[in-house]
Amino acid sequence: MSPIYKILITVFCLIFASIVVIGRDVAQQKDLKGEESMTKQSNPIDRLDFLIGTWHMEYKSHQGSGTGIFKRAFDDKYVFFDYSVSSPAGETGAAHGIFAWDTKDNIYRDWWFENSGNFTQAACNFINEETLLMYWQDTLLIQTFQKIGSDKVELKMKQSNARGEYEVILEVEFTKQK
């Protein structure tokens, strides 16, 4: 083998080895950046933070008031909502809701359980930064939680009428307790 040929093979091997090492280093850097972005990626449940806390609930659509508590649960994978209400006539009610992020369908879900024995579920998503829209399954009901201010949230439940329009059937003002 000629000396020039040996030099060319050596140079080719050095270049090839350099390309492999550089490519591996670039790939590792990309992996590290990917890991960083994954750890910095926010938990979808964070979007429900505007609800977290203890609230005084005042019914605007009919008489009644109560207390509601939204809190994170199970390693911040869920938000629980517990409330109790009473009317001037002495009627009482209580319920438990569980909000979660559905990673398969990329939407929020809510499961709702009342002390009356009724239960249902909703598919939910944000229609803007301050409004969570909920579609109650097997019903013609939709509901919103809308942030009105740092200490105010408005709940509206609407039902479809015969004309296909939605009419408000429940309106509740939430005021955050200090």
Q: What integer pLDDT is reported at residue 42 of this predicted model?
A: 87
For 40, phi and psi rounded to 5 degrees?
A: -80, -20
Q: What integer pLDDT is reported at residue 62 of this predicted model?
A: 84
Containing 174, the helix (H) or strand (E) segment is strand 166-176
Residue 19 CA: distances (Å) to CA of 6, 16, 73, 100, 176: 20, 5, 49, 47, 60
Q: What does pLDDT average to in each consecutive run of 10 residues of the chain (178 residues)?
A: 44 39 44 42 91 96 93 97 94 96 96 96 96 94 96 96 92 94
Q: What integer pLDDT is reported at residue 178 of this predicted model?
A: 76
In total, the chain counts a number of residues equal to 178
Are residues 28 and 16 part of one domain?
yes
Q: How many domains does the chain have?
A: 2
Are residues 160 and 93 part of one domain?
yes
How far apart, in Å, do the first and last CA atoms of the chain sit? 87
Are residues 144 and 71 part of one domain?
yes
Q: What integer pLDDT is reported at residue 36 of this predicted model?
A: 42
DSSP state of 142: E
Are residues 17 and 98 part of one domain?
no
Are residues 100 and 53 part of one domain?
yes
Return the closest-CA partner of residue 77 out of 55, 99, 110, 47. 99
Question: Is 140 in contact with 125 (CB distance < 8 Å)?
Answer: no
Please report, for the domain that includes residue 60, its CATH number: 2.40.128.20
Are residues 28 and 111 part of one domain?
no
Domain range for 75 is 44-176
Are residues 58 and 122 part of one domain?
yes
Are residues 73 and 22 part of one domain?
no
Are residues 167 and 144 part of one domain?
yes
Are residues 101 and 23 part of one domain?
no
Are residues 129 and 65 part of one domain?
yes
Are residues 165 and 93 part of one domain?
yes
125-162 confidence digits (pLDDT tens): 999 999 999 999 999 899 999 999 999 999 999 999 99
Q: What integer pLDDT is reported at residue 57 of this predicted model?
A: 97
